[in-house]
């Protein structure tokens, strides 16, 4: 006779009862009902959105602010491509982001005006100067690049790495009045990839300032410029010396009875008194109209 261990023996499967069938059916009903409800809600929402865009559309887009450089057709096209819904459900952040991506736009704001208007406030960049070959820069050092046909003419040119734009602008704004006191205007200022500074004036000459002690070198040139000009028209002034300068001249030097001797113009420049007079021996590296062209060490 075989014995059955009650601990390991499997009990025979229970036959389904009517009560269990009811519970299972109820669960399936609730599941299908939930899915059906979700489908109805999605369909209804889609239908309502279509109705809203049909019966409450955005009919008017108005622009606030002083818009001078930003092409209005470009702004209209940009906003038109972002209008995907009616006045109630249109995503204003999408419009704002698209408008602020336009090169001339500094900042933008968007709001709804019932019943069918979207109002856009636009603040444009105000260019201070050209930036390199294809850009513009503002007085705060913000660089932006509009289309080639949108760059105004007659602006001074600044140049350098984009992340150095605030420094270049700062020096341009600080130096321009100093040159204007001498009847000059800076038309180009560059901070080259090596960190060396140079500028060009409307008088046609270039000023090389190098990388070190840029501001003291500039001050030295400004003190010497009246006497340089009295001796002739400079083509380039090189200030990359510890206490002097080198001048190359444009054309033939024109001297008169009031002009100081050329040797006095190109000598070392050091302030020797309250007036900051010019004194000291002529540097060996000077090259004038009759001296050899000796390049100074760059710094």
Q: Domain range spanning residue 160?
A: 127-265
pLDDT confidence band for 16 (50 / 70 / 90): low
The Cα–Cα gap between 286 and 115 comes to 76
Same domain, 108 and 139: no
**In this structure, is residue 196 part of a structural domain?**
yes
Same domain, 77 and 176: no
Domain with residue 71: its CATH number is 3.10.20.310
**In this structure, is residue 284 part of a structural domain?**
no
pLDDT confidence band for 36 (50 / 70 / 90): low
**Any bridge partners for residue 238, and if so which?**
208, 246
| Per-residue pLDDT tens digits for 68-105 | 899 888 998 999 899 888 888 899 999 999 999 999 99
The Cα–Cα gap between 111 and 118 comes to 6
Direct distance between the N- and C-terminal alpha carbons of the chain, in angstroms, rounded to an integer: 111
Domain count within the chain: 2
Same domain, 151 and 183: yes
Same domain, 132 and 116: no
Distances (CA, A) of 266 to 144, 240, 246, 281, 298: 42, 13, 6, 9, 18
| Per-residue pLDDT tens digits for 246-291 | 999 886 554 443 444 444 444 444 433 333 333 333 333 333 333 3
| Per-residue pLDDT tens digits for 99-136 | 999 999 999 999 999 888 999 999 999 999 999 999 99
Same domain, 79 and 185: no
Same domain, 115 and 133: no
Reading phi first (left if > 0) and then psi (alpha if -120 to 50, else beta), residue 132 is in left
Domain with residue 137: its CATH number is 3.40.50.11690
Same domain, 143 and 164: yes
pLDDT confidence band for 35 (50 / 70 / 90): low
Residue among 201, 251, 209 at smallest CA distance from 231: 251
The Cα–Cα gap between 263 and 86 comes to 80
**In this structure, is residue 255 part of a structural domain?**
yes
Q: Which pLDDT does position 163 carry in this prediction?
A: 95
Same domain, 101 and 162: no
pLDDT confidence band for 40 (50 / 70 / 90): low
Same domain, 92 and 148: no
| Per-residue pLDDT tens digits for 154-202 | 999 999 999 999 999 999 999 999 999 999 999 999 999 999 999 999 9
Same domain, 144 and 117: no
**In this structure, is residue 163 part of a structural domain?**
yes
Q: Which pLDDT does position 286 carry in this prediction?
A: 37
**In this structure, is residue 201 part of a structural domain?**
yes
Same domain, 139 and 257: yes
**In this structure, is residue 89 part of a structural domain?**
yes
Mean pLDDT of the chain: 78
């Amino acid at each position: 006779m075989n014995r059955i261990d009650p601990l390991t023996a499997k009990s025979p499967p229970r036959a389904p009862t009517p009560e269990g069938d009811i519970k299972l059916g109820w669960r399936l009903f609730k599941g299908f009902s939930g899915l059906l409800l979700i489908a109805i809600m999605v369909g209804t929402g889609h239908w309502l959105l279509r109705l809203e865009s049909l019966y409450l559309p955005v009919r008017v887009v108005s622009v606030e602010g002083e818009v001078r450089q930003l092409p209005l057709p470009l702004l209209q096209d940009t906003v038109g491509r972002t209008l995907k819904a009616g006045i109630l459900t249109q995503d204003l952040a999408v419009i704002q982001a698209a408008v602020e991506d336009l090169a001339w736009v500094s900042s933008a704001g968007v709001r709804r005006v019932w019943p069918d208007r979207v109002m856009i406030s636009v603040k444009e960049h105000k260019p201070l100067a050209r930036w390199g070959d294809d850009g513009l820069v503002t007085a705060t050092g913000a660089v932006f690049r509009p289309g080639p046909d949108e760059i105004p003419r007659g602006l001074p040119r600044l140049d350098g790495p984009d992340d150095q734009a605030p420094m270049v602008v700062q020096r341009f704004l600080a130096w321009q009045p100093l040159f204007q006191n001498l009847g000059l205007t800076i038309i180009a200022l560059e901070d080259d990839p090596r960190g060396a500074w140079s500028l060009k004036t409307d008088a046609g000459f270039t000023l090389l300032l190098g990388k070190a002690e840029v501001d003291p070198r500039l001050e030295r040139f400004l003190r010497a410029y009246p006497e340089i000009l009295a001796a002739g028209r400079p083509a380039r002034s090189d200030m990359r010396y510890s206490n002097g300068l080198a001048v190359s001249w444009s054309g033939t030097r024109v001297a008169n009875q009031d002009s100081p001797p050329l040797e006095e113009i190109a000598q070392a420049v050091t302030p020797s008194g309250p007036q900051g007079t010019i004194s000291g021996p002529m540097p060996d590296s000077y090259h004038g109209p009759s001296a050899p062209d000796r390049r100074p060490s760059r710094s």
